[in-house]
Amino acid sequence: MIMFYFSGTGNSKYIAELFTKKASAQCYSIEESLDFNSLIASQKVIGFCYPIYSSRIPRIMREFILNNQNILKDKEIIIFCTQDLFSGDGARAFLDLLPKKHVKVIYAEHFLMPNNITNAWFYPTNNQRKIQKRKELANKKIDIIYYNISKGIIKKRGFNPFSKLLGFPQALFFPFVERIGRKGISIDDDCNLCGKCLKICPMNNFDFKEKIIPGDNCTLCVRCVNECPKKAITLIFRKKIKKQYFLK
């Protein structure tokens, strides 16, 4: 088995690495420069781990799946989604990207992880106690999942009609949010031109021309928002960052 993940601020990476360590499997970020076709072709079971944004898959992961869809045909798929509240059918949304019966999903699960959106009034910033609690619950869930998969037990979170109904309102609204978010990055005067955002952005969405200029290719991962040393970056919401999110 092999697992691919995308993680903006560490939540999905944590889950992917936790599971693959337990399963003695390989784990790679989709941001790495690798021959993904060869890696996928060499394995029967392929895992995917990604955050869910309003019941839908981040654009960077959608593009990865579509770019590799031919080699994914007839593979057995494990899907892990990280979320803060609920995503409805976040794991099932994976199948919307592929032809019908293109892959066989053998397990799908959602994980409650800490909130990494730190400048929206309706999303309270998590304290360290809550972060630790969610990590502990994730660890227990991984143990259960590993046992189930090793015994051939199939569970598919988010694949029932009720989950799809819960996810539909969010999914319907998400394309609008995504369009705004693509060019929703703002940098204030506190920027010290350190260039960290240029190095860490998974979409190469920053340019330097006397000052750092954001582009229109944001995938909404909020990595730059949480890692800017001067807290100078915001996404969509212009409220100044007070406390950044780091998964410890």
Assign 56 to helix, strand or coil. strand
248 pLDDT higher than 80: no
Give yes or no for a contact between 120 and 184, defined as CB atoms under 8 angstroms apart.
Answer: no
**CATH number for domain 2-176, candidates 3.40.50.1100, 3.40.50.360, 3.90.650.10, 3.40.50.720:** 3.40.50.360
Share above pLDDT 70 across residues of the chain, in percent, rounded to a whole number: 100
Q: pTM for this structure?
A: 0.93
Range 87-111 average pLDDT: 94
Q: Where are the domains of the chain?
A: 2-176, 183-235
CATH 3.30.70.20 assigned to 183-235: yes
128-150 vs 11-23: helix crossing angle, rounded to 10: 40
